[in-house]
């Protein structure tokens, strides 16, 4: 399947971008970024319908909101390689006077970003507002959002989850990155959230799972299925099972790399596992 191979090339390059960005400034969040790389690449290159260029209101195109803003490295890399801003600008991640702040923001006018995020639990409400605006405007395009699983511990999410079903916000696909990890450890140890699928369903959402959230074909297929379920009176939730740190063997299956950058040696090792495909920035 040539398209999948093409997407996989972008994934490899995105992983390299993530690793190099956080290594350069010795800070940032590689774990969740690597875990969601396939999702972001699928979303921006295959799933969402996007116009050329960027305007804040985004009439007539699908919109994406990142709620767990700390995985900004993957977001920035995918936006840059999609053409929203120069790829070279990834060099400025987390540096003074940069548009690429530690957490995404509109404040510096970075194309592609429509809301600040980082303080957790706020993105779903914003996505709902944007979804309501689309409905008011008679705009049939969709709203996508991504949330961490640990982030669901923030109560505002459940206000939003209740509102979305109660108001039949069926132009929204909210994806939960189910990697089972948060800063202090496994989500089941820090604050067990029980059956997340059952919870969303109990709130009235249409829930589907992507069991292999780091398999490009599975992600594309799952997100296409999610799209087909919009417009039917229910908000759609995708439970995306991912591995934090995916694609770098020593970063996988641990929460240790949630917010830690690799040293020189670790970077070399990690890059060795992810071949350069589109050219490093």
Partner 1 sequence: MTKYVDQGKNDTRSGYGAGMTELGRTNPNVVALCADLVGSLKIQTFIDENPERFFQVGIAEANMMGIAAGLTIGGKIPFTGTFANFSTGRVYDQIRQSIAYSGKNVKICASHAGITLGEDGATHQILEDIGLMKMLPGMVVINPCDYNQTKAATIAIADYEGPVYLRFGRPKVANFTPVDQKFEIGKAVMLSEGTDVTIVATGHLVWESLIAAEALEAQGISAEVINIHTIKPLDAAAVLKSVKKTGCIVTAEEHNYLGGLGESIAGMLATQHPTPQEFVATQDTFGESGTPEQLMEKYGLNNKAIEKAVLKVLTRK
Contact present, 73 and 18 (Cβ < 8 Å): yes
Query: Which one among 38, 62, 139, 206 touches partner 1, defined by CB under 8 A?
Result: 139
Contact present, 232 and 195 (Cβ < 8 Å): no
Query: Which one among 155, 192, 272, 279 touches partner 1, defined by CB under 8 A?
Result: 155
CA distance 136 to 21: 40
Burial of 217 (0-12, 13-18, 19+ CB in 10 A): middle
Q: What are the phi and psi torsion angles at 202 (to 5°)?
A: -65, -30
Among 134, 129, 115, CA closest to 67: 115
49 binds partner 1 (CB under 8 A): no
160 binds partner 1 (CB under 8 A): yes
Q: Under 8 Å CB-to-CB from 79, ≥6 apart: which residues?
A: 44, 85, 110, 111, 112, 113
- Minimum gap (Å) between residue 142 Cβ and partner 1: 13
134 binds partner 1 (CB under 8 A): yes
Query: Which one among 7, 50, 87, 130 touches partner 1, defined by CB under 8 A?
Result: 130
14 binds partner 1 (CB under 8 A): no
Query: Which one among 14, 33, 37, 105 touches partner 1, defined by CB under 8 A?
Result: 105
Segment interacting with partner 1, rule: CB under 8 A, options 54-62, 88-96, 178-186, 187-195: 54-62
Residues near partner 1 (CB under 8 A) are: 56-59, 63, 65, 105-107, 114-119, 122-134, 136-137, 139, 155-156, 159-160, 162-163, 166-167
């Amino acid at each position: 399947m040539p398209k999948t191979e093409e997407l996989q090339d972008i994934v490899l390059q995105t992983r390299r971008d993530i690793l190099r960005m956080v290594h350069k400034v010795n800070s940032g969040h590689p774990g969740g970024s690597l875990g969601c790389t396939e999702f972001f690449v699928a979303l921006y290159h295959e799933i969402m319908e996007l116009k050329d260029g960027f305007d804040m209101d985004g009439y007539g195109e699908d919109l994406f909101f990142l709620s767990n803003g700390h995985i900004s490295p993957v977001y920035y890399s995918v936006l840059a390689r999609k053409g929203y801003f120069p790829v070279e600008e990834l060099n400025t991640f987390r540096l003074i006077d940069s548009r690429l702040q530690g957490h995404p923001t509109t404040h510096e006018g970075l194309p592609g970003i429509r809301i600040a995020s980082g303080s957790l639990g706020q993105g779903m409400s914003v996505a709902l507002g944007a979804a309501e605006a689309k409905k008011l405007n008679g705009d049939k395009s969709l709203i996508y959002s991504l949330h961490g699983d640990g982030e669901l511990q923030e109560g505002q999410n459940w206000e939003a989850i209740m509102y979305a079903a109660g108001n039949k916000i069926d132009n929204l696909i909210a994806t939960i990155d189910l990697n089972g990890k948060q800063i202090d450890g496994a989500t089941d140890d820090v604050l067990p959230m029980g059956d997340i699928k059952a919870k969303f369903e109990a709130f009235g959402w249409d829930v589907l799972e992507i069991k292999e959230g780091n398999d490009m074909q599975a992600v594309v297929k799952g997100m296409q299925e999610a799209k087909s379920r919009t417009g039917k009176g229910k908000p759609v939730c995708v439970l995306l099972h991912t591995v934090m740190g995916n694609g770098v063997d020593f970063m996988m299956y641990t929460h240790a790399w949630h917010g830690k950058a690799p040293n020189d040696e670790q970077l070399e090792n990690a890059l060795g596992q992810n071949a350069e495909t589109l050219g490093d920035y």
